[in-house]
Amino acid sequence: MKQILLLNGPNLNLLGQRQPEIYGHATLADVERDAVALGNELGVAVTCKQSNHEGVLVDWIQEARSTAAGIVINPAAYSHTSVAILDALNMFDGPVIEVHISDIHQREAFRHHSFVTHRADETIIGEGVAGYARALRLLVARL
């Protein structure tokens, strides 16, 4: 069975408590449970990881080069700052789908640019946590 890595970046561990008017009421555990269940339906094994630390995310992306067929990533604030995460994704051969829960283009100007978009095969913006399910479907369609 193909392995998919679902990666979430900083502060997404507090989904549900964190500015629910922007990020909604679902928790990260809800998102991860639904992603694993959808993966089962689609015939892929989804492994979910979250870190508040840039280097840890880089390590996991590097690891995924030999363990995962594709990556769904919400880099959170690192979207807007991290060339390191972009570089790591550029060494990953499989499809990469980027997710932003909120509509980053309707928010502060510093959120409008994402480094990860330069590598992502598709970017899903502003669909709430439902964006993860769409990302997973798009990813599987590319495998």
Known binding residues for substrate: 74, 80, 87, 101-102, 111
Known catalytic membership, residue 100: yes
* Residues making contact with ligand DHK (CB under 6 A): 11, 74, 76-77, 79, 100-102, 104, 111
Q: How far is the CB of 93 from ligand DHK (least distance, A)?
A: 25
**Is 106 exposed, middle or buried, given 0-12, 13-18 or 19+ CB atoms closer than 10 A?**
exposed
Buried b (16+ CB within 10 A) or exposed e, 44-64: bebbbebbbebeebbebbeeb
Q: How far is the CB of 66 from ligand DHK (least distance, A)?
A: 28
Active-site residue, selected from the candidate residues 78, 100, 105, 132:
100
Question: Which strand (E) or helix (H) includes residue 74?
Answer: strand 70-74
Q: Measured between alpha carbons, how far is residue 31 from residues 10, 27, 47 in Å?
A: 15, 6, 12
Residue number with CB closer to ligand DHK (19 or 67): 19
Q: Output the known binding site.
A: 74, 80, 87, 101-102, 111
Known catalytic membership, residue 23: yes
Which are the catalytic amino acids? Answer: 23, 100
